Structures are given as structure tokens and as C-alpha cells.
């Protein structure tokens, strides 16, 4: 049994060194995640770093990054920034979004990566900012389905996040565990709807570290969804029928550590039903998590069985991965990303200009028509007049750091 296969790990380095090689050989992780900090040496150095990681592990491994677009874009420093999901979704242009997904996939493959920890399926809220594609479930589903199609065309695996949804959160889970009081009935009609509608199309889903008392059994304890057997097993696996791999969010985040250490959190999330635990920065935390998982499996037959099931699930996903990087002219790719971003920003500027006219001097009375299905609020779709959905507050992703997933 290789315990490391249920870990996705990150590291500090932007260049290959002996310490990184030792960590990889020791842990033998099932996934490696890359951030802006790993790209500081430039495009060619980053491509070489990913290549050395792949060659050292020499088995199918998830080589991942968060490229949502907007502020959560781990390749922005070596390519060109992608547009934010909210801006792209407001174009109401399915081919444009498919092109967006395809360019993200091509960018990942250009550096030898094969997994995108995106799209975001959370509904719009001040906490999510421009990372969410819209305030209505059907808007989010439509955007994600087209984005996923674009990724798949480049043989890049997707991981949707953050189940069961962060719309109701009021705090940043990097620091504290958000307690989301939304009822189960309301969540089924809103936050859970994109995950439900896309369950058969998603290879992976990432759990949030927020707590959802309304989804827990009666008298259930307050715990992160990533460590809840009920939310993972009975809702995501059972009610929604999801059969792919389930990942935790980063276990070095404050919300995950509210009840203990990284190693304890790793055991708790795998025991609850996650197939892969993420430890995204500190080498000693990675080693502590691997050690704790091994110790628990050696003394608990049921937990060892859980590890075996998780390992098989991760292996089934990894078996779909491409064999290696895709040769791409980076200068040409940068230009194509620049054109896409310019198109999205241009559409957004035109839309804002029309909206400004409607609230300016009284001689302009006609407002732009809202595309079908884009009503306000969460009630049934009704014909409405008015502009597009309001823009949530600023994105809270952290350039160069972990960023909220």
C-alpha cells in the first residue's frame, strides 16, 4: 500500500534541488500542485521544473494548478492573465467560454501540467468575488459545462470546487472556518444544483472547509465539509451520485486547522471519504501527514481499507491523463490569451457603457435586454427588464500564494 498516493503536495522551490527530489522520492505523492511561487524562474525554468517532477515520480501523477482566470491564475506570470470567470460568463457566448477553457488547457499542457483545479461552481457572493460565474445555478452550470468541454479537448482533467458551495460564507476560510447556515432544502435548489447537474461530467470535486449545520444529521457536530462523512458520503456520493475522485482543499488553511494539526486533518478528511488530501506548501507538514496516515492504516484495518479505496479511485482518474507535455509556441499562446482577454474586457466595457446610459440623463429609456434565463434572485425565471447581475465584491484570491480554491 502506497500511502503517498492519497496526497497532493506543494513546495516552495522555483527550481529543482536535492531537497525537492528527496521529498518526492520519500512521499511518492499521487499529485503535485504548482503555484505562482514555483514560476518565479520564468517560463522555461518552470517547464523544466515540472519535467523533473514528472521524471522523478515516473508513474501517472496529477500535475495540477489553479487556473480559474482572473486573480486566481497560477500561470499569469509566465504567460498572460486570463479573464475572470464572471466577466467571461456575462458575455453569454458559449463558443467564447469553450475557447477560454481550451486556451487554459493548452496553457497547462504547454508546461507539462495535466490537471486544472477549476472551474468554480460556487454561486456569486461577496466572498467569492469575480471567481464565481454568476448568481444563478443555471448561469454557473452553463459556464462550467462549456469551460469543461474546452479543457477536455486539450486532455486536461478538471476539478470542480468548492462542494457544497461557499455562497453563504462571511469569512475567509484561509483564516477561520465559515459556518454557513443555509438550509438543506435551499442548498439543493441553489448551491448544490451545478454540482448535481454536472456530476456525471466531472472527474474530480474539491470539498470546502466551511461547515454546513443544515446539511448535517440532526444534532450533527460543527465540522468542515471536507471532514464530514455525511456531506461526502450521503450527499455528494449518495444524493448527487458522484463517482469521481474527491479532494480536500488545502489542509494548511486556517479553517482546516481549527480542530488540530495538519496531520490530524489529513487523517480526518481521508477517513470521512476524501480520496486525496492536499498539503500545499510546507515540506514538514507533508511528511507529518504521510506519517500520520501510515500510522493509522497500520493499526486500523477499516482505515487501511479506506486508503485502498481512495488509492484505486485516484489511480482510475490518473489513468486518463496524457503521457506528457504538448509542444506549444509560448509567444503565440500569449497573443491568443491576450486577444481572448481583450474580447471579454471589451464586451464588459460596452455592457457597462449601456448600463451607465440607462441611469444617466432621462432621454435614454430603453435598457439592454437580458438574455433568456437571466433573472434576478433565486425564484423561478420570469421575463425581466434591466441590466445584468450585479458584480460581487473584490476577488480574494492571493496572487503568488495559496489563494482560496
As annotated, the active-site residues are 174, 249
Q: Cβ-count burial of 304 within 10 angstroms (0-12 exposed, 13-18 middle, 19+ buried)? A: middle
- The grid coordinates listed for 355 are 448600463
Task: Tell me phi and psi for residue 268, to 5 degrees.
Answer: -65, -40
- The grid coordinates listed for 194 are 451545478
Radius of gyration from C-alpha coordinates of the chain: 21
Chain position carrying cell 429609456: 365
Angle at the Cα of 159 (from 55 to 397), degrees rounded to 5?
A: 95
Q: Do 358 and 98 touch, CB atoms closer than 8 A?
A: no
Q: What is the rounded distance in angstroms from the CA atom of residue 307 to the CA atom of residue 273?
A: 9
Chain position carrying cell 496516515: 293
Beta-carbon-side half-sphere exposure of residue 64 (alpha carbons within 13 Å)? 33
Amino acid at each position: 500500500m502506497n500511502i503517498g498516493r492519497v496526497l497532493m503536495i506543494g513546495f516552495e522551490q522555483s527550481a529543482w534541488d536535492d531537497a525537492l527530489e528527496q521529498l518526492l522520492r520519500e512521499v511518492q505523492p499521487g499529485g503535485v500542485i504548482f503555484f505562482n511561487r514555483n514560476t518565479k524562474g520564468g517560463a522555461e525554468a518552470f517547464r523544466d521544473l515540472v519535467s523533473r517532477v514528472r521524471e522523478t515520480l515516473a508513474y501517472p501523477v496529477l500535475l495540477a494548478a489553479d487556473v480559474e482566470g482572473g486573480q486566481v491564475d497560477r500561470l499569469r506570470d509566465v504567460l498572460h492573465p486570463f479573464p475572470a470567470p464572471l466577466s467571461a460568463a456575462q458575455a453569454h457566448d458559449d463558443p467564447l467560454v469553450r475557447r477560454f477553457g481550451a486556451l487554459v488547457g493548452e496553457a497547462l499542457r504547454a508546461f507539462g501540467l495535466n490537471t486544472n483545479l477549476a472551474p468554480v461552481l460556487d454561486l456569486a457572493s461577496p466572498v467569492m468575488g469575480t471567481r464565481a460565474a454568476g448568481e444563478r445555478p443555471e448561469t454557473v452550470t452553463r459556464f462550467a459545462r462549456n469551460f469543461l468541454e474546452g479543457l477536455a479537448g486539450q486532455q486536461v482533467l478538471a476539478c470542480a470546487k468548492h462542494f457544497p458551495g461557499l455562497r453563504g460564507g462571511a469569512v475567509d476560510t484561509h483564516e477561520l472556518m465559515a459556518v454557513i447556515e443555509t438550509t438543506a432544502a435551499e442548498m439543493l435548489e441553489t448551491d448544490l444544483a451545478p454540482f448535481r447537474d454536472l456530476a456525471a461530467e466531472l472527474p474530480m470535486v474539491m470539498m470546502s472547509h466551511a461547515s454546513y449545520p443544515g446539511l448535517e444529521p440532526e444534532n450533527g457536530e460543527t465540522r468542515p465539509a471536507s471532514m464530514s462523512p455525511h456531506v461526502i458520503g450521503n450527499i455528494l456520493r449518495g444524493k448527487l451520485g458522484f463517482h469521481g475522485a474527491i479532494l480536500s482543499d488545502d489542509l494548511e488553511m486556517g479553517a482546516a486547522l481549527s480542530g488540530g494539526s495538519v496531520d490530524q486533518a489529513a487523517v480526518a478528511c481521508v477517513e470521512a471519504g476524501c480520496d486525496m488530501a492536499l498539503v500545499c506548501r510546507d515540506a514538514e507538514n507533508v511528511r507529518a501527514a504521510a506519517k500520520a496516515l501510515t500510522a493509522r492504516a497500520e493499526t486500523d484495518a477499516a482505515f487501511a481499507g479506506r486508503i485502498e479505496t481512495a488509492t484505486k479511485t485516484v489511480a482510475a482518474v490518473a489513468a486518463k491523463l496524457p503521457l506528457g507535455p504538448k509542444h506549444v509556441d509560448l509567444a503565440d499562446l500569449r497573443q491568443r490569451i491576450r486577444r481572448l482577454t481583450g474580447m471579454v474586457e471589451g464586451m464588459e466595457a460596452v455592457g457597462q457603457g449601456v448600463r451607465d446610459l440607462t441611469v444617466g440623463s432621462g432621454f435614454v429609456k430603453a435598457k439592454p435586454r437580458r438574455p433568456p434565463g437571466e433573472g434576478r434572485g433565486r425564484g423561478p425565471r420570469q421575463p425581466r427588464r434591466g441590466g445584468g447581475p450585479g458584480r460581487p465584491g473584490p476577488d480574494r484570491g492571493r496572487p503568488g500564494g495559496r489563494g482560496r480554491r
